[in-house]
Amino acid sequence: MPIVIEKLTYTYQSGSVNAFTAIMDVSLTIHDGEFVGLIGHTGSGKSTLIQQLNGLMQPTSGKVLVDGFDMSDKKQRAKGRALVGMVFQYPDYQLFDETVYKDISFGPKNMKLAPDEIDRRVREAMRLVGLDFDEFAEKSPFELSGGEKRRTALAGIIAMYPKYLVLDEPMAGLDPAGRRAVLAMIDDFRKQLGCAVVMVSHSMDDIARSADKVIVLRDGAIFASGTPAEIFSRSDELYEMGLEPPFAARMASELKRHGFRLPGGIYTNEALADALAAYKGGDLNV
């Protein structure tokens, strides 16, 4: 069963003079195994929306159903929350134990798994995120670099085998090589665990490279939803919203303005390279 959001509205300080509606009448479905990219300008409601998915916030109106569990109901919320793993933008908020091993094992212990299974999951999670067990297991998480902290926080969620993995700006502050490494990790454990991924990101290139579906939020509502090709073909509209399309989409658009006859739907570097190679070979003409 999927995550189903029905006419979701969330208002901060509802009923007060300071009331502010961050999400308005949002409906969407997140299917099993799907990679959903969530984009939008600052203040568009992205963080508020993803916090509804594991019950950190409950709707002012509407419903969030995780595999049929109503996240507004306290008893059902606990069952739904067990299916959703969330990694916040700042990993320091999720790290608290004495060692990396203890931190990653916290979730599996709360699931009352057998010690052997806990150990297996910790080792597997560390392998998936690229943390050498012998080097990092007994380190304090607070002695780690920013990238290592992010990997540890991610491992702690992976060890619980979530059906849905929700990531809030997982590549924030990383250089291009670091971003590629994190995306490769996400792709790896998505294939191995079969989980769906919902990722908030300001990097359109990262979304273009990985997402099956892209949802664009604008002022708390869904502005557009579709495949990366469908969304990133609307570069002018994204620019108007303060969103910079992927490099390949921008370059293709600029080349077209200068008379190059390139095919539509270019949004990845690979597609741009193929189009330019065909152009050089004489298949595309000014």
Q: What is the pLDDT of residues 43-63, one digit of tens each?
A: 999 999 999 999 999 999 999
pLDDT digits (tens, 9 = 90+) for 213-228: 999 999 999 999 999 9
pLDDT of residue 286: 45
pLDDT digits (tens, 9 = 90+) for 67-78: 999 999 999 999
pLDDT digits (tens, 9 = 90+) for 104-145: 999 999 999 999 999 999 999 999 888 999 999 999 999 998
Which residues lie closer than 8 Å to 114 by C-beta, 6 or more apart? none
pLDDT of residue 30: 96
| pLDDT surpasses 90 at 94 | no
| pLDDT surpasses 90 at 15 | no
The domain locations on the chain are 246-286
| pLDDT surpasses 90 at 166 | yes
What average pLDDT does range 76-86 have in this prediction?
93
What average pLDDT does range 63-90 have in this prediction?
92
40 pLDDT tier (thresholds 50, 70, 90): very high
| pLDDT surpasses 60 at 285 | no
**Cα–Cα distance, 257 to 214 (Å, whole number):** 26
Higher pLDDT, 28 or 189: 28
80 pLDDT tier (thresholds 50, 70, 90): very high
What average pLDDT does range 166-184 have in this prediction?
82
Q: 285 with 275: CB under 8 angstroms?
A: no
**Cα–Cα distance, 105 to 117 (Å, whole number):** 10
Look at residues 157, 215, 203 and name the one whose alpha carbon lies nearest to residue 29.
215
Residue 62: how many other CB atoms lie within 10 Å: 18
| pLDDT surpasses 90 at 265 | no
| pLDDT surpasses 80 at 243 | yes
| pLDDT surpasses 90 at 182 | no
Q: 21 with 9: CB under 8 angstroms?
A: yes
